[in-house]
Chains A and B, each alone.
Chain A
Amino acid sequence: MKLDLKFKENSQKLDLKFGQFQDLTDGGYERGYAEGEKVGYSNGYTDGETKGKEQGYAEGYNEGTIPSYYIGEIYGLYDSVVFPENSEIYLRLAKLFNQNAGYVCRKTKNLKKLTLEIGSTEFEFIYFGGFIRENTDIEILDFSNLGVKIGSVDYFALGATKLKSIYGALDFSECTVATLWLNSANALEDIEFVPNTIKISIDFYWCTKLSKASLTSIINGLSAETSGLTVTLSKTAVNKAFETSEGANDGSTSAEWLALIATKPNWNISLV
């Protein structure tokens, strides 16, 4: 039997036969759903991104510095970037989504100071290999609120000839490689370690200007529970920092120095 259905004006006239389905939606519902989903996602994403940036800007901004944003990965972030002269960056991450902070400022130009703060990460330690490698302008690294343990630091500041200070106590308890990490970093004066966390042989022999506080922190940073390891220091730095009187340059024989290194009899302490 054939029905002749009439619809309102401008409506479609259907030719239906009993016992037969016809897709009245003609896929329109699916298309509409898919399109709506895309638009909704896009709007939501854009909205979220905008708000995230605004929040990150507001919370990360420090007067006098280039503002930071919430980002998840920083490997090679400023590698070879040329900033305006004497720039300072406050890089504040709400969450780091991978374990790699290598080569962040390798060969970066005109960056005088970098402050890094990692709000959270699921990793216990982060790789910092080549972090400021061959960066010949940076003077200060501020890790005071770093928030993570230091992983391997191979080539960390290799060739960073103006690096003067690393602020914040470094937790080296998970660091297993420090190959050439401070080679040519001969301007370094300030560095600090969490006590008893250094568990690898480590070199500071390029660092002829290390302060007394820094040298003391290095010795205190050596793990008391290792054996067969060596810390290599600059004799020039030790002689100056621990000298018994102005200009005596006799630090390596001073009672204060000898008392300090006596606390780590399990370590070879080499002066070059």
Chain B
Amino acid sequence: MRVSIKASEGMILTNGEIYGSEIFLADGLKAEKFHEITKAEYEKILKAQEELNEI
């Protein structure tokens, strides 16, 4: 069974690269590397990425 991590209600997990409310980790990736951010923060990050890509 592979390791999975779940965010609290209304939160998103991230390690700076991967974002998700539930993440099934690849072999070798540690759960300790992840922390929670709010969904509002996540939305801001997505928007910034879109702006960075000039859409």
A binding-site residues for B, Cβ under 8 Å: 154-155, 158, 179-180, 183, 227-230, 232, 235, 252, 258, 261-262, 265-272
Q: Assess whether B22 is in contact with A228, with CB atoms less than 8 Å apart.
A: no
- Is the C-beta of B17 less than 8 angstroms from some C-beta in chain A? yes
CB distance from B8 to the nearest CB of A (A): 14
Q: How far does the alpha carbon of A268 sit from the alpha carbon of B27 in the complex, in Å?
A: 8
The answer to whether A230 and B50 have CB atoms under 8 Å apart is: no
| 6 contacting pairs across A/B (C-beta < 8 A) | A230-B26, A258-B1, A261-B2, A268-B24, A270-B24, A272-B21
User: How far, in Å, is B35 (CB) from chain A's closest CB?
Assistant: 15
Report yes or no: A271 in contact with B22, Cβ–Cβ below 8 A.
yes
Query: How many residues does chain B have at the interface if contact means C-beta atoms less than 8 Å apart?
Result: 20
Closest Cβ neighbor of A270 among chain B residues = B20
User: What is the CA–CA distance of A252 and B55 in the complex, to the nearest angstrom?
Assistant: 32
A97 to B16, alpha carbons, bound, how many Å? 42
> Which residues from B are CB-within-8-Å of A235?
20-22
DSSP majority for the B interface? loop
CB nearest neighbor in A for B49: A180
Cα-based distance from A232 to B42 in the complex (angstroms): 14
With both beta carbons as reference points, the residue of chain B lying nearest to A268 in the complex is identified as B26
Sample of 5 further A-B pairs with CB below 8 A, known A270-B18, A272-B19: A180-B50, A227-B26, A268-B23, A269-B24, A270-B20
Q: What B residues does A258 contact at CB under 8 A?
A: 1
Cβ of B2: which chain A residues have Cβ within 8 Å of it? Answer: 261-262, 265
B40 at the interface (CB under 8 A from A): no
Q: Is the CB of A268 within 8 A of B22?
A: no
For A252, list chain B residues within 8 Å (CB). 22
**In the complex, chain B residues whose CB is within 8 Å of the CB of A267:** 26
Q: How far is the CA of A270 from the CA of B2 in the complex (A)?
A: 13
Residue of B nearest to A154 (CB): B53
Which of B20, B25, B53 makes the CB contact (< 8 A) with A272?
B20
Complex contact B12–A268 (CB within 8 A): no
What separation, in Å, do the CA atoms of A229 and B29 have in the docked complex? 11
Q: Are B21 and A230 interface neighbours, CB within 8 A?
A: no
Chain B residues whose C-beta falls within 8 Å of the C-beta of A232 in the assembled complex: 18-20
Q: A261-B24, A265-B26, A270-B23 are in contact. Are A180 and B55 (CB under 8 A)?
A: yes
Among B1-49, those with CB < 8 Å from A are 1-2, 12, 17-29, 49
A232-B20, A235-B22, A261-B2 known; A272+B12 contact, CB < 8 A = yes
